């Protein structure tokens, strides 16, 4: 049976990695983004069918996050389009401990299609490929006040699990929670970056409303501002202060530690190079 794969968000943190790893395995894979040869835009449903026609499996990363209010309507329409296009399997990237995401997960689960749900913790790469990179380079990371620790997960581990789910039907019907092997505060994470770099990176905690004001000063779109407020207000409350072994179960190897991520990232010069911001 053929397995032609479409990777939605092929320029994002996990999508780019999934696409590259599938290519290296010789899979029949196509990229999907607003700038791909056959474009895909979450906010232009007329692009969906053309991108998915002839594809058997699809990796689904939704922008900016499944938690936003309009996501249920969009994912419902997307799943209907996927079925009409002949897609057999969906692998959906979701967030760990995010109750607002579960409606979208349930749409995929109840679709009648083969599926795998991948719930991920905060990405380690948010410090090197996302909004926080500017601040790491500037020597001060500002975050909302919070005491909860997070089991940051490596985007490469996420991508490896997704690749397995796309290629192996043994993962059909499964929901995986992906975490790193340790719980870290933001202060501890920043310290693990600063120490091998041999320089100081300060962590400053401020109130959530002051943080939102900073985001707006950066001229971020309001849906991203809403999302970040939601993530820091509702998710970093201790609910995710636990380690899961799903990465080890799927990949038969341990998940990457934050220290290993740092040691791999430093030689690439990301924390000394001009800022590169990519989508989740």
Q: What is the dihedral of CA 187, 191, 133, 256, to 10 degrees?
A: -100
Domains in the chain: ranges and CATH:
4-121+154-180+241-258 (3.40.50.720)
Angle between helices 208-217 and 222-230 (to 10 degrees): 150
Report how far residue 237's alpha carbon sits from residue 144's, in angstroms, rounded to the nearest whole number: 12
Instruction: Check if the beta carbon of residue 65 is closer than 8 Å to that of residue 97.
Output: no
CA-nearest of 224, 218, 236 to 65 is 224
Q: What is the per-residue pLDDT for 273? A: 56
Report how far residue 250's alpha carbon sits from residue 237's, in angstroms, rounded to the nearest whole number: 28
Per-residue pLDDT of the chain (280 residues; tens, 9 = 90+): 899 999 999 999 999 999 999 999 999 999 999 999 999 999 999 999 999 999 999 999 999 999 999 999 999 999 999 999 999 999 999 999 999 999 999 999 999 999 999 999 999 999 999 879 999 999 999 999 887 899 999 999 999 999 999 999 999 999 999 999 999 999 999 999 999 999 999 999 999 999 999 889 988 888 889 988 988 888 888 899 999 999 999 999 999 999 999 999 999 999 985 544 444 4
Q: What is the per-residue pLDDT for 278? A: 47
């Amino acid at each position: 049976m053929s397995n032609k794969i479409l990777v939605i968000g092929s320029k994002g943190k996990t999508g780019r990695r999934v696409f590259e790893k599938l290519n290296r395995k010789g899979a029949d894979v196509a990229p999907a983004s607003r700038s791909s040869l056959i474009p895909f835009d979450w906010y232009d449903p007329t692009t969906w069918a053309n991108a998915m026609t002839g594809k058997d499996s699809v990796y689904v990363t939704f922008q900016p996050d499944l938690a936003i209010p309009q996501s249920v309507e969009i994912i419902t329409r997307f799943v209907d389009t996927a079925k009409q296009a002949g897609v057999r399997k969906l692998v959906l990237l979701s967030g760990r401990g995010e109750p607002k995401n579960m409606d979208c997960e349930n749409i995929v689960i109840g679709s009648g299609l083969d599926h795998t749900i991948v719930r991920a913790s905060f990405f380690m790469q948010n410090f090197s490929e996302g909004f926080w990179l500017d601040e790491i380079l500037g020597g001060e990371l500002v975050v909302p006040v919070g005491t909860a620790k997070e089991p940051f997960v490596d985007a490469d581990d996420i991508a490896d699990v997704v690749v397995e789910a796309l290629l192996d039907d043994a993962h059909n019907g499964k929901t995986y929670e992906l975490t790193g092997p340790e719980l870290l505060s933001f202060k501890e994470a920043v310290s693990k970056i600063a120490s091998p770099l041999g320089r100081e990176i300060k962590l400053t905690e401020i109130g959530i409303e002051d943080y939102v004001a900073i985001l707006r000063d950066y001229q971020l779109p309001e849906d991203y501002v809403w999302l970040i407020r939601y993530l820091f207000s509702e998710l970093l409350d201790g609910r995710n202060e636990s380690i899961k072994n799903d990465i080890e179960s799927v990949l038969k190897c341990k998940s990457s530690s934050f220290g290993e991520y740092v040691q791999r990232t430093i030689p690439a010069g990301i924390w000394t190079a001009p800022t590169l911001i990519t989508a989740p």
